[in-house]
Amino acid sequence: MLSQGLTGQLVRDPYRPDNNDTDQINSLENPPLIPLKSEEILVRKCRLASDRMDSRFGRFRTEDLPNLLEMIQGAPVLIGHDRKSLGIARFFGGEIAKRGDTTWIIPKFYWAKDHSGAEDLRIQIDAGVYNEASIAFVYQKPTCSVCGEDLRSCPHWPGKTYEGELCFYWYDKVERVTEGSLVYRGAAPGTGIELVAAESDETRSMEANKTDKKITIKHRGKRYTAQLYPLIKDAGKGEMKLNGITGGV
Ligand SMILES: [Zn+2]
């Protein structure tokens, strides 16, 4: 007779997706056929493209990054730009954020927990084995950094120096983002995968209401609306004090 003692501990996913994630996923173009629930998916985020020069001397303009983030919505995550295979995950949501001096598009991506390889993918990502990314896109005009003309017809060469200035080109008039890939080594420096920080109800409500200077918080099972920043945390009792509470629901 064979007997076995199992003492393994289940490690919880460091990020638990929430309704905000599933709302964004379920409202993508070509949404999931059966609306996803937060407990059915795994989510990570990815520094996919930035305003730094890449190894081919091409560069996105900082002001174009929000447009890129918009265009990546719903696009597949492939492995190594292999377009003969289907995606292993899908981009949604995300943010434009700085890492040091560089501005990045950092979309989130999700995949289904029920997929037979779901846990393998999570383990390889979280273990840092899969750790670089690359964006695939279609654009109209490579604009020369030296003279501002189309690089295909001007006398300058990217990578050469003219009067002390390195020539590169801007990726102008980006038309489409076709996919983002996990790659063995990306052409753009600094790409990578990150954990999604869990947002508290308070943080999210503050973000959502920033424009009208109102915040909604959940506290001890009730919702409160306050008109002004800041929230002042009482160090003594760990309770919230709110400036200008106008009502509770
Ligand atoms: Zn030129």
Q: In the prediction, which pLDDT does 164 show?
A: 96
Cα gap 117→119, rounded to integer Å: 6
* For the chain, domain boundaries: 19-194, 201-248
Q: Shortest CA distance to 72 belongs to which of 97, 94, 104?
A: 94
166 CA distance to ligand 1 centroid (A)?
11
Cα gap 97→66, rounded to integer Å: 10
161 CA distance to ligand 1 centroid (A)?
11
pLDDT average, residue stretch 13-20: 88
Fold exhibited by the domain 19-194: Serine Protease, Human Cytomegalovirus Protease; Chain A (3.20.16)
Q: In the prediction, which pLDDT does 185 show?
A: 81
Residue in this structure with the two tokens 């997929």, named with its chain if needed: 115
Residue 19, helix vs strand vs coil: helix
pLDDT in tens, 167-182: 999 999 999 999 999 9
Cα gap 20→18, rounded to integer Å: 5
- Between 234 and 47, the more confident residue is 47
Note the pTM of the prediction, 2 decimals.
0.75
pLDDT in tens, 83-137: 999 999 999 999 999 999 999 999 999 999 999 999 999 999 999 999 999 999 9
State how beta strands 76-79 and 58-59 pair: unpaired
143 CA distance to ligand 1 centroid (A)?
8
177 CA distance to ligand 1 centroid (A)?
26
Cα gap 213→229, rounded to integer Å: 7
148 CA distance to ligand 1 centroid (A)?
6
Q: In the prediction, which pLDDT does 242 show?
A: 43
